[in-house]
Structure 1
Amino acid sequence: MAAHIDVKAVLVAAVASGQGKTTVTAALARKLVRQGKRVRVFKCGPDFIDPMLLERSSGAPVRSLDLWMVGHELCRRQLAQAAAEADVILIEGVMGLYDGTPSSADLSREFGVPVMAVIDAGAMAQTAGALVHGLRDYGPVEMAGVIANRVASEGHARMVAASLRDIPLFATLPRQPKSLPERHLGLVLPGEIVDIELLLDNLADQLVFDEAAWERLPPVRIEIPPATEPQTPLLAGQTIAIARDPAFMFIYPANLDTLRHLGATLTFFSPLADEPVPTEANAVYLPGGYPELHAEALSQAAIWQASIRAAHAAGMPIVAECGGMMALADTLADQAGAIWPMAGVLPGAVAMQARLAGLGSQGLTTEYGVLRGHTFHYSKLETAVEPTAYTIKHPSAVQGEAWYRVGSLKASYFHAYFPSNPAAAAALFSRSAA
């Protein structure tokens, strides 16, 4: 029999986006942590912002689970590691329970994690039961219970509970006078919310939680995968400088782990603070973020701009994803239409727009196989540079984002998930390979 760990775990899902999954998951995580529980939270699908909030609420790093981008094996390995360290695992779903290929429901069934359905009860009562039973039976999935969001009163909660019949109501959360603030790519970053800790504590306080029902919830058995061979240190001796500040913070923690496992030394710097590329660097990684919110400051960061141009002129490998690429264009037009000069390493102009320009899982075909990841952006790049490749959208297999090469620069709106193909990730930072 395979080795295993038993742990209490639920997948927090809903009928659609906008039901309050992130708010409820954050409230539940904070409540359990305050009860002395060791809580580990995961996020389904590609996401950078929600995990930041869930990390603040749980006090522990939040990783991605996605059967395509992350893969079955690494998902299982991450769950097993969390189970060894935690009393509770919470997995926040993405979109609606059955939306996407793969969906949150697919993940639930793959690992035997029951669903905790979040229902926005603000404009319904007994109909909640119909929704929950539909969610359970359509797949089907194992339904652990329900958390009703935006509940008006105890009487309202009783009506919702009665409608659920054989499915328990685990908790209710009242309508919030102050919701978590949002912007075009999702929630406002937790570090920008002055009273974030108080807000999370208040959410936990207001979550009316049936602890007896929670304690009756049976544990989930997580299989422990066999040990893997150590990663070949393809980046041994390399020092990679990574931009990290409020303009560049969209990076998977697993990407950093992969680079370290490949043998690289990581150092961090802030273009927004006008810091140059560190002198010890052999390569540069510019992840995505919100350069459009800091375009004026970046346009005035002469030291940063000169240093990245010098690194490019010297042939240093530079990998720029989404916001990182935007900061290397000639100009960036922000949401107000103001045009700001950028570093000018990638010829072209970037402009923000009101409509979503790219969204979804994609893969980049390389000589080492497919490097998986995703895209999510509201800007467009106009450039005369011809793409050297295009990503392929998943699951439609149609053409996705352009992949540009200008000298030692590799740039795209594509956010790569390095653990999906470490050899391809290592090649990005090589002077000789893709």
Structure 2
Amino acid sequence: MNPTTIRKQKVPRVMIAGIASGSGKTTMVCAILQEFKKRSLSLAACKCGPDYIDLMFHRAITGAKTANLDLYFTPPEVVREILYQNGVGTDITIIEGVMGYYDGMQLGKDTASSYDIAKQTETPVILAVSCKGMSLSLVAIVKGVLEFRKDSNIQGILLNGISKEMYERIKPIVEEETKILVVGFLPPLSNFRLESRHLGLVTPDEIEDLQDQLDYLSEIARESIDLDAILGIAKNAPELEIGEITNIDSCDRNEPNVKIRIGYAYDQAFCFYYQENLRMLENMGATLVPFSPLRDTELPDNLHGLLLGGGYPEVYAKQLADNISMRKSIKEAIGLGTPCIAECGGFMYLHERVQGKDEEWYEMLGVIKGDCYKTKKLVRFGYVTLTAKEQTRYLDKDEIIRGHEFHYWDSTNTGVHFTATKTSSDLSYPTIHAKDNLLAGYPHLYYHSNPRFVKRFMKMCSKRLEI
């Protein structure tokens, strides 16, 4: 995966990072994106780390491409290429940080942190600081963050949850003490709040008045944030150094006249997909066909592959169970040999029964023998390296792919064909069903961590054209 030809490309970009989770990063990014959209700027957005839902809000605002940037999943040159492909030709890419600025994938290390991504991509950073319960102490905290790494690349500060009067008093003090420009603030927002549930924020489709709330945010941002300063910081970002990365398009493309149709479940129950995964399939010649296990009565015609992504099947368990014709359609397709990748929520859907959020039990597809049940805490949370324990149609024995787990439900039959190894500990455990045409398990897979996995899936799908 070494670059063969280094080139530099102009990609205006800035990262909004926080001192901690809850600093207001997502709200600030949404406010800035919405106001830039009203200025008719062309926009792109990225998220540090493996989160899906923040990017769903970014897409709902901009209508533009989004991407995850993750240095655990892929090396720096691939992260830079993904950032370039997502943002090339736009006026600005806003990158939302993850957790605290220096918080990496392991305790005590900044590896794969927002800081690490900013460093590897030479992206200027604006630090979001929650001001709740502080005045002068916030200066001390900001100075500590600035000085913790000499190459922090923090070029601006945004203050969150502070009144206009207090902002006008504290802004010159912060700038004098830190020598960093304070580019604005958000006051306490009485009419805007992003609701959460057990897997994080509710999705944009579930917020009926989302556009009204975004317009409200935009009005606030217009008055309280120096958007021209943020745009200037982004436009002064160094050219992005990228190369011809072999794992971006390493898989053979299909001939243009060969149309592999891959159906992917997409509705309120199934909506967690890495956009880079979907784009990789499209780049390799696939036509992606969305369908709804909640509303559609059967699968679309002429599908050669299936994706059942993550989401909230436990919230919509009754509706999924009641859609008997769709359950039958998917089960028949898998039984007839249609290649299928099912992750987390999609994996749960394949079981015999799922315990709903209401703690009632609902019948599902029965492709996988066993039940999925509610637990009281996060199960096997975090990054995993997945190693095939035996030869499968997706991975060779001892071959790896990387992914992430985040779920409160567990299974009586999690699978045994792969071994999952945690990055944050020595813990390892069996997981994944990888038999014949089916690959299903709790981990969300990141295709760029092993493009050969995708090539094999596409090859299986292409064979369905012959049937």
TM-score by length of 2: 0.86
Alpha-carbon distance, 1:67 to partner: 1.6
What is the match of residue 408 of structure 1? 437
User: Contact conserved, 1:317 with 1:430, CA < 8 A, in 2?
Assistant: no
User: Could you tell me which of 129, 138, 141 is aligned with 2:148?
Assistant: 138
Q: Percent identity?
A: 31
15-24 or 303-312: bigger deviation: 303-312
The correspondence for 2:226, drawn from 190, 206, 210, is: 210
2-side partners of 1:29 and 1:74: how far apart? 25
Report the counterpart of residue 242 of structure 2 in structure 1: 225
- Unaligned runs of 5+ residues in structure 1 are none
1:171 is aligned to 2:184: yes
Cα pair distance change 1:154/1:308, threshold 3 Å: same
1:339 equivalent to 2:358? Answer: no
Q: 1:84 to 1:327 in 2, by over 3 A?
A: closer
1:278 Cα deviation from its structure 2 partner = 3.0
* Cα displacement (A) at 1:339: 0.8
What residue identity is the alignment partner of 1:144?
Q
1: CA distance, partners of 2:286 / 2:115? 37
Q: Name which of 327, 350, 365 aligns with 1:305.
A: 327
Deviation of the 1:375 alpha carbon: 1.3
Contact 1:6 1:83 in 2 (8 A): no
Return the offset for 1:223.
Answer: 2.9
Name which of 18, 25, 28 aligns with 2:22: 18
8 Å CA contact retained: 1:327, 1:342 = yes
Q: How does 1:369-380 map to 2 (within 5 A)?
A: 369-380=399-410
What's 1:359 paired with? 381
Q: Cα deviation per residue 1:348-388 (whole Å; 9 max; x = unaligned)?
A: 111123311132222223329432221111111013x7511
Cα 1:239–1:113 change in 2 (3 A) is: same
The 5-angstrom pairing of residues 99-114 of structure 1 reads: 99-101=103-105, 102-114=112-124
2:160 paired with 1:149: yes
Where 2:64 maps in the other structure, the secondary structure is: coil
Counterpart Cα distance in 2 of 1:212 and 1:271: 44
1:19–1:149: 8 Å Cα contact kept in structure 2?
yes
1:118 alignment partner in structure 2: 128
CA distance in 2: counterparts of 1:282 and 1:343, whole angstroms = 19
Any gaps of 5 or more consecutive residues in structure 2?
106-111, 388-394
Relative to structure 2, which stretch is displaced further, 107-116 or 78-87?
A: 78-87
Residue matched to 1:391 = 420
Return the letter of the residue paired with 1:255.
Answer: N
Amino acid at match of 1:352: K
Judging changes above 3 Å, is the alpha-carbon distance between structure 1 residues 412 and 386 closer, same or farther for their aligned structure 2 residues?
closer
Q: Residues 239-282 of structure 1, C-alpha deviation per residue, up to 9 Å, x if partnerless?
A: 32211111111111211111123333332221111432334122
* C-alpha distance in structure 1 between counterparts of 2:259 and 2:228, whole Å: 54
How far does residue 92 in structure 1 lie from its aligned partner after superposition? Answer: 0.4
State the Cα deviation string for residues 275-296 of structure 1 (Å, max 9, x = none): 3233412222111111111100
Letter of the 1:94 counterpart:
V
Residue of structure 2 in register with 1:201 after alignment: 215
Cα deviation digits, residues 289-338 of structure 1 (max 9, x gap): 11111100111111111112212322322211000011111111122211
Instruction: Please say if residues 3 and 224 of structure 1, whose CA atoms lie closer than 8 Å, have aligned partners that are also in contact.
Output: yes
**Structure 1 CA distance for aligned equivalents of residues 334 and 199 of structure 2:** 29
Deviation at 1:214, TM superposition (A): 3.7
Provide the C-alpha distance between the structure 2 equivalents of 1:157 and 1:352, rounded to a whole number of angstroms: 49
Distance, in Å, in 2 between the alignment partners of 1:162 and 1:144 is 16
Distance 2:415 2:312 in 1: 25
Number of aligned residue pairs: 432
Once the 2 structures are TM-superposed, how far is the Cα of residue 7 of structure 1 from its aligned partner?
4.6
8 Å CA contact 1:14–1:96 kept in 2: the answer is yes
1:429/1:376 Cα in 2 relative to 1: closer, same or farther (>3 Å)? farther
Q: Quickly say closer, same or farther: Cα 1:393–1:197, change in 2 above 3 A.
A: same
Q: Greater CA deviation, 315-324 or 159-168?
A: 159-168
Choose 393-402 or 132-141, whichever is displaced more: 393-402
What is the CA-CA distance between 1:120 and the residue it aligns to?
A: 0.9
For 1:316 and 1:345, the matched residues in 2 are separated by 13
Instruction: Give secondary structure in 1 for the equivalent of 2:378.
Output: coil
**Match of residue 424 from structure 1:** 453
Greater shift, 222-231 or 250-259, is seen at 222-231
Q: Which residue of 2 aligns with 1:42?
A: 46
Q: Does the 8 A contact of 2:417 with 2:430 survive in 1?
A: no
CA contact (8 A) 1:353 1:378 kept: yes
